[in-house]
Structure formats: structure tokens, C-alpha cells
Amino acid sequence: MRKPKVYLERYVPYRTHLKLGKTNIFLGRGKRYSTINPFELKVENNKVLFPKDFSKLFNQTAAYAIGLGKRVGVLSVLEASPKSAPVGVVEDDIEVFAHKTDQSSIVIAVVVVRGGSPKPSSYSR
């Protein structure tokens, strides 16, 4: 089995007719249209949020998936608000949602990547 490759959007020739933004990446097994899956990337710097809190971004993620003829979209969020202690457990940062659009239903996987935490050595002080 071949390993999937990651393509930055600027290297994907399909973006012009899909009108996709510049912060997206695609995961696929080549530059063939049928094998590309969209990843929507966002950054949150102000407050601690969890996957359910990003539902307002589901329409955009779904539009990218539908534009590529996919039924699954991935929304990845770098949550980099300042923290004084770790937030929850990693299992709470990954969640899958069914999202209805006018055209169909799309599955959206939300992955929150935590940043902004202090160095682990600061906890022992």
C-alpha cells in the first residue's frame, strides 16, 4: 500500500474552479481528482474551545468536501490561547459530526490541536 501524500493547495490544479481558500491542504494518493480529501485549517488564539464550539465553520468545510465530490471533510483547529495548565484530555479534542447541507449530509471530523501551554517543567516549580 502506498503512503498518502500531503499537498499544499497551491500545488493542486483544481483550486481555480473550486474557489478554495489558501489555508487548505489535501491528502491523497496522487494529484488525481478522485483521491483528494480536503482539510480546512483554522487558528483560535483567544479562548479555550472544544470541537463542538466550531460548528459555525462546518458549512465552509462541507462546501470544500462537496466541491471535491467527497462526503467527508476534516476541520483542524490550532487552539493557541494562553494556558496555565493543560486542558482536558486528547480524546476530547477529536470528534465526528454529521452535518446537513441543502444538497446532502456530510461527515465532518474536527481535530483540535492544543498550543499555548507552558513548558512541562514549569509545573514542578
pLDDT at 115 over 80: yes
In this prediction, residue 70 carries a pLDDT of 84
- 8 band by pLDDT with thresholds 50, 70 and 90: very low
In this prediction, residue 54 carries a pLDDT of 92
pLDDT at 123 over 90: no
Q: What is the mean pLDDT of residues 93-112?
A: 91
Q: How far apart are CA 100 and CA 62, in angstroms?
A: 9
Residue 11 gets which letter from DSSP? G
Beta strands 25-28 and 5-8, pairing class? antiparallel
Q: How far apart are CA 49 and CA 83, in angstroms?
A: 12
Q: How far apart are CA 35 and CA 1, in angstroms?
A: 14
